[in-house]
Amino acid sequence: MGQDSRPATPAGGGGALKRRGSTILPLTAVFGAALAVRVVYLVQAPAHPLHGFVFALSDSLHYHRSAVAIAGGEFAGEVPFFLGPLYAYVLGLLYACFGPSIGAVYVFQAVLGAATCALLAAAGRRLFDARVGWISGLALAVYAPHVYYTGHLLPTVLVVFLNVLLLWILVRDASRPRAMRAAAAGIVLGLAVLAKSNALLLLLAVPVVFAWTGRGLSARRRAAWCASFVLAALITIAPATLHNFAASERFVPVTTSTGRNLWKGNGPFANGTHPLGDWEGGGAGLGPRLQGGVDAGEAVEESSRYAARTWDHVRSEPGATLQLAALKLALFLNAVELGVRDQYYFSKEQIPLLRGPLLGFGVIAPLGIVGMLACWRRRRDLWPAYALLVCQVVSFVGVFVLARYRLVAVACLVPFAAERGVAWWDAARAGRLARAVPSLAAAALIALAVNVPLASYPKERGFALQWEKIGDRHRLEGRPAAALAAFDKALASDADGWQGLDPETKRGETLLRMARARWDLGDRAGALRVLDELLAELHVSDARSRRLDRDARTFRAELSPGS
């Protein structure tokens, strides 16, 4: 492997001290550069009207409320975990120390993100060499989506940190496997599972791949390594499993959201990414579930029902399932950054740094894929990076694709991308660039494919939802005039702005919000005009439009003279 995999100079020798110093200084520089980028981002981020507004994302609100409860001494709720619990407990610790400060969370995530870049640099150094290492760290330091999620109350930065930490431990262990390091890797994997349960795939994949790549070791040593890894991971996950059993008297390894996610990603309404709206009843009641307001047993049974329905659908529609899987793989490998209500491209218009010379998936993916192919002959040495990457692809192609979900895969691709860049540079310096032409051509072709715009997933997807949420924030905080301006921008967006939701119903819901904002301004006549427009346009056809019709008529009756 890289130069760090060679036997170390004996402790106390000048060579060891020199090598340690030559390692620490570049890693410190990578950490400092990454932290500086994230600090600049946090300074500019308040330009986004939804920055720090936890009500903007339902997951963020769930984590915030859970953390407040944890900081107040409520360490475990009365229902099984619906989302991965680790992030809420990390926030709870921060809230206990600094109060319920969103700013403190963002600073913590900036430091954690910078530490992730330094860890990736260390891993890249061991996978290849020092140059690949520091280029890898700096590439992640300026990778735009990783910077972007520093300013979100979501577990993304924590998830990437834990997975890169796992990669670093496995890479360190690859040359001289030891049971103690396997146990450390297992603990980190357990924490990664508690942050995002898709990491459970690694609980099986890592021992299998290790047993295959470590065939030069004795069977006893391989068995001890695998047992240490799996046992440490299971012990780390066990508190969540025990809590879920105590709350529901049913076996739930980590969360009760698994069945719903499988159905959303593979049912008849699946579109490759996270669907919005009422996907055959599956979208209803999400709020109460995030707030723990659902019977514990019912939450578990619901997950089981959705999992069973998904399996039935897959068996009955194998052709459609394969087409959907191909679509999700294409989305995973495309440059577009998909969000739910966390719209990267909307934020890019608001925050100057995101419009700067930062790296994106369209650059990293082609170089990384070519690097993986070029390095395949060394797969037994590089197996941790391959294993983590494949598990990421499989886990989210099996459910649905979002930009924040593929960041771990990006971190695995970055060292391979850096390796290709260094290899091409060395070839050019040696006057042997002709030898690099095939891989350069392959990278160019992959870049063309990765960066092809997808007509069904434009960058403006979801912009109307952003303006609607901004209007809600202004109105909630007593700025009805600003709310009206935001609602006007939402209505001016095209159909893609509603991110797959029915444009007519969303227009009606926005008009109702505008009517309430006009009433807040004391403009009853204006509010009545907006309500009349809404009722004249609305076609009642489903539960959502019926509810809208009822709410609009009720509000109009309240505003009518003599009411």
Give residue-wise pLDDT tens across range 419-439: 999 999 999 999 998 899 999
Q: Over 60: is that where the pLDDT of 287 sits? A: no
In this model, does residue 75 exceed pLDDT 90? Answer: no
End-to-end CA distance of the chain: 80
Average pLDDT across the chain, whole number: 90
Q: How far apart are CA 14 and CA 18, in angstroms?
A: 6
**Residue in the structure block whose two tokens are 């979900």:** 405
Averaged over 76-83, what is the pLDDT?
A: 87
Give the pLDDT score at 502.
87
Kindly report the pTM of this predicted structure: 0.92
Percent of the chain with pLDDT over 70: 92
Closest CA to 120 of 331, 368, 443: 368
* Of the candidates 175, 171, 150, the residue with the CA atom closest to the CA atom of residue 161: 150
Structure-model confidence comparison of residues 16 and 339, the more confident one: 339
pLDDT confidence tier of residue 18, bands split at 50, 70 and 90: low
Average pLDDT over residues 149-174: 96
pLDDT value of position 79: 87
| pLDDT tier, 402 (very low <50, low <70, confident <90, very high otherwise) | very high
Residue 471 to residue 68: CA distance in whole angstroms: 26
Helix (H, G, I), strand (E, B) or coil at 440: helix
Distance CA 55, CA 510 (A): 17
Please determine, for residue 563, whether its predicted confidence score (pLDDT) is greater than 90: no
Lowest mean pLDDT among 6-15, 270-279, 456-465, 492-501: 6-15
Please say whether the dihedral angle defined by the alpha carbons of residues 432, 425, 361 and 163, taken in this order, is positive or negative: positive
**pLDDT-based confidence at 13, cuts 50/70/90?**
very low
Rg of the chain on CA atoms, in Å:
25
pLDDT tens-digit readout, 19-29: 555 678 889 99
Residue 362: closest CA among 334, 389, 390, 338: 334
Confidence of residue 217 (pLDDT cuts 50, 70, 90): confident
Q: What is the pLDDT of residue 9?
A: 37
The sign of the dihedral angle between the CA atoms of 91, 95, 97, 98 is: positive
User: How many CB atoms neighbour CB 215 within 10 A?
Assistant: 9
Q: Residue 434 carries which DSSP code? A: G
| 139-144 mean pLDDT | 98
In the prediction, which pLDDT does 39 show?
Answer: 98
- Average pLDDT for 132-142: 97
Residue 35 scores a pLDDT above 70: yes
* Residue 89 predicted with pLDDT over 70: yes
Q: How confident is the model at residue 294 (pLDDT cuts 50, 70, 90)?
A: low
pLDDT score at 103: 94
**Residue 296 reports pLDDT greater than 50:** yes
Residue 6 has pLDDT above 80, yes or no: no
For 312-342, give the secondary structure using H, E and C.
HHHHHCHHHHHHHHHHHHHHHCCCCCCCCCC
Tell me the pLDDT tens digit for each residue of 245-259.
Answer: 999 888 999 999 999
pLDDT digits (tens, 9 = 90+) for 344-363: 999 999 999 999 999 999 99
pLDDT higher than 80, residue 244: yes
pLDDT interval class at 295 (50, 70, 90) = low
The stretch 128-153 carries a mean pLDDT of: 96
Reported as a pLDDT band with limits 50, 70 and 90, residue 15 is: low
Rounded-to-5 percentages of helix, strand, coil across the chain: 75, 0, 25
Contact 34, 134 (CB under 8 A): no
At 272 the pLDDT is: 92
H-run or E-run covering 162: helix 156-174
The pLDDT of residue 231 is above 60: yes
**Lowest mean pLDDT: which of 130-139, 261-270, 367-376?**
261-270
Instruction: Provide the pLDDT confidence category of residue 34 given band limits of 50, 70 and 90.
Output: very high
Cβ distance 445 to 481 under 8 Å? no
What is the predicted pLDDT for the residue at 562?
A: 60
If one counts every other C-beta atom within 10 angstroms of the C-beta of residue 461, the result is 23
Residue 494 CB contacts under 8 Å (≥ 6 apart), including other chains: 460
pLDDT value for 58: 84
- 306-335 pLDDT, tens digit per residue, is 999 999 999 999 999 999 999 999 999 999
Residue range 91-111, pLDDT digits in tens: 999 999 999 999 999 999 999
* pLDDT > 50? residue 2: no
Question: Which of 11-20, 302-311, 495-504 tops mean pLDDT?
Answer: 302-311
* Residue 278 DSSP code: -
Task: Give the pair of three-digit tokens for residue 519.
Answer: 């009433």
pLDDT at position 78 is 82
Q: Report how far residue 421's alpha carbon sits from residue 364's, in angstroms, rounded to the nearest whole number.
A: 11
Residue 163 contacts residue 457 (beta carbons within 8 Å): no
Task: Answer with the residue of higher pLDDT: 544 or 117.
Answer: 117
What percent of the chain is predicted at pLDDT more than 90?
Answer: 76
